[in-house]
Structure 1
C-alpha cells in the first residue's frame, strides 16, 4: 500500500513538473523535481520551493491537502494533469501573466483613480532595481522592498532585455502594488539601465538595489530620517556580504564603520581614510542620495562601462559634491555573491578598462583634496591596489585569456598615466616590501613571473577563506 501511495505521489510530481515547464518554460524545474522524486521527499510540499528556485517562496507553500486530487489543466491549447490547488499556487506566485484573472478585479474607473492617486503622491524615496535574468532571486529582492517599515517609496523595476521570466514577473509585481513601476528595454547594460532609473525617479531621494540582493527591513526609514535630521545630501550605511564557493563553503562578513560620522564638504579630506575603510566607494547600493545631486550636477553613470567598477567611478566623482554626508554605523543591506549567478564573479574584457577609469577617478579625487584641503595622500599605494585587482580579474570565472592576451592587457595598463608612477623609483620606497617587488616586476615588464605570483596569491587567499 505504501509503495502504491508513493508511486502515485511521484506521478503527481512528474505531472506538475511537466505543467510548470509548459507554463513558464524553466527547464531546470524538471531537474529539481526529479531530484526530489528520487529522494522521495514529498513531505510538506517543499519540492515546489526548490522547483521554482527561490528559498523565499517557501513562505507561500501551498497546503499539502491540495495534492489529494488531480485535475486537468489547459494552457495555450495544451492539456496536462496537475494536483488540485496547483493553479492557485502559481496564480498567487506569478499573477496575471499566465492569463488567469484575479478573483476580485477592480473596475476601470477604480484602477484609473488609483493610478492618479499614486502619481499625485510624490514618494519619499525612489528605489532603482535593474533586472536581468534573475527569475530565481527577484522575489527576494522585491519582497525586501515591500517589507520596508517606511511605506512612502516607489520601486522602479527596469527589465534590461531579460530572456527568462524576469520581465513577466516584474509586470506581475506592478499589478499587485501600485508603488511598483516597470520599464522594459532592449539589453543595454547596468550603467544605462541605472541612468534610465535616475531619469524616471520622482522621489526626494534615490537609492539602488541589485536584483538578487536584499535590504534590511528598516533601512529606508532610518536613512531618510537621518537625511532630514542632519540635512544631509548622502546617507551611507554598512552592508553584509554572503559569499559562496564552488565547494559549497560560505563566508559572511560585515563592512561597516565602527562609529557614525557626520561630515561637511570641508571635512572630506581629513575623514577620507575612515570613510574609505567603511566601503563608501566600492558600492552604490549602500546609501541614499538626494535627487537634486543628479539634476544640478548632471552626474550620471559612465555608460562606456559595461560591467564592473561603475560604482567606484561614480562615488569618487560624487564625493566632494554634497554639502553634508552621514555615514551610519548600521548594516542595512545584504549583498549575495553567488558563485554561479553573481556578476562580481564573472570576467568581462571591459572590466580592465573600467578598472583604469576607476583608478583615474580616484587619482583626480586625491589630487584635488591635496590641493584644496592640504592633505598629503600618495597615489602609489592605491595604484598597487588597482593593479592587484586587474591581476585578480584574470582569475575570474569565464576568463579564457592566454598568456599573450594577458601580456597585451598589462602592457596597455602600464602605458596609462595613473600607472606611470611605477616608473619613479623614489615613489616605490613608500611601499611595503611585497608591493614594492610587484611594482618592480610590473614596471620591468616581467609579466610571466608577475602572473604566476598573482595566481599563487589568489589561490592562497581562497584557501584561507575555505578554511574558515
Structure 2
C-alpha cells in the first residue's frame, strides 16, 4: 500500500463479541486508501485470532500482538507503526458510520488542516436494546493556527474523545504527542487532545455525526474505583489550565475555567460513589480530599469569575463553592441525592 491516506488505530482487548462489527464498519467505508492497525493488547479471549483472520482477508489490515499494557500502550504501538498522512482512532466495540473517512479526509485536504473534529453519538445499550442516545452539538468552523486561540471556545465544544477526529501524523510527530501510559483508568483522551491544542493546530469542525460511541451494560467495567483515574484527571487539568491561560479564553468568557472545574468536581463525586462500588464512606471522602490537592485548586479564584458562574449556573456554582470551602460531606450528599432522584 504505497499511498496510505489514513491510519486507523484500534486497541483490542477481550472484545471477540464486538470486534467483527467494529472492523467491518471501517473496512466497508466508501474511502479505501487507509490501513487498519489492530493492536491486540494481550487479549485472553479469541480477539487475537479474529485480528489475524481479518488481516488474512484484507491487505489493509495490519496486526500487532503485544503483552497487555493498557489502552495508551496499545495506541502508542499503533502510532509507531502508522504510515498514513492522517491518524484516526476507534475503540474495539464502537462503530464508524458511512463516509466518516471520505468526508473528513476531504475537509482536511481542502483546508490543509492539522485536525478535523466531527460529532459523535453516545449510545447506551442494555440487554441488546438501545435505551438512550445523545449527540454532541457544535457549529461548523475552519480555523487556522493563528485563529486557534480566538476560537478556542467553539473548538472546545467539539469534545475530547480522540476517536471523534483525524490528526495529521507529521503534526503529532513534530510536537512529540502520544499517549501517557501512566494513565490506566481514564482521561487519556483529554490528555492527548489537550497536548494537541497546546500546539495551536489548524482545525476544521464538522458537526455531522460519524462515530457511534457505545456503552453496553454487559460490557462495561465492574465499577472498580482506582486512584489512578483521579491522579490522571489532576494531571490533565494542569495542562488544560495552561491552555486556558495561553488562549486567554477567560477574557471572552469569565466563567469558562471555573465552570469546567465545577463539572470535573461533579464527575469525581459521581466516580467515588457508584452503586456497584463497595467502599467505606470515609474512603470516598478521602478521595475527594485528595482531588482537592490538585495544583489547579491551590490558587484563589477570581471573585469575578465565580460570580459569573453563579449567574450562569447556580447548581454549578454551588458544587464549586462547597468543594472550594472543603464541605465534602455536604457536596457528596447533594450530588448523590440528585443522582438517586434522577434514577427514579
Same fold (TM over 0.5): yes
Shift, 1:431, TM fit: 2.8
1:216 and 2:97 matched:
yes
Shift, 1:340, TM fit: 2.4
Unaligned runs of 5+ in 2: none
* Among candidates 127, 133, 142, match of residue 14 of structure 2: 133
Report if aligned partners of 1:339, 1:345 keep a CA contact under 8 Å in 2. no
Report if aligned partners of 2:273, 2:284 keep a CA contact under 8 Å in 1. no
**1:377-422 CA distances to partner (integer Å, 9 max, x unpaired)?**
5522221111111111124465333212112211111122212356
> How do residues 69-468 of structure 1 correspond to structure 2 at under 5 angstroms?
118=1, 121-244=2-125, 250-257=131-138, 259-279=139-159, 282-343=160-221, 347-370=225-248, 377-378=254-255, 379-396=257-274, 398-421=276-299, 428-432=306-310, 433-463=314-344
- TM-score calculated relative to the size of structure 1: 0.68
Unaligned runs of 5+ in 1: 1-117, 464-468
CA–CA separation in structure 2 for the residues paired with 1:249 and 1:421:
44
- Which structure has more relative contact order (CA 8 Å, sep 6+)? It is 2
Shift, 1:163, TM fit: 0.8
- TM-score calculated relative to the size of structure 2: 0.91
Higher radius of gyration, 1 or 2: 1
Report if aligned partners of 2:263, 2:316 keep a CA contact under 8 Å in 1. no
Task: State the aligned residue count.
Answer: 340
Question: Which is richer in helix?
Answer: 1
Q: 1:285 to 1:380 in 2, by over 3 A?
A: same
Shift, 1:457, TM fit: 1.8
Report if aligned partners of 1:234, 1:289 keep a CA contact under 8 Å in 2. yes
Report if aligned partners of 1:370, 1:377 keep a CA contact under 8 Å in 2. no
CA–CA separation in structure 1 for the residues paired with 2:304 and 2:18:
50
Report if aligned partners of 2:125, 2:131 keep a CA contact under 8 Å in 1. yes
* Superposition CA RMSD, Å: 2.4
Report if aligned partners of 1:348, 1:399 keep a CA contact under 8 Å in 2. no
Report if aligned partners of 1:422, 1:428 keep a CA contact under 8 Å in 2. no
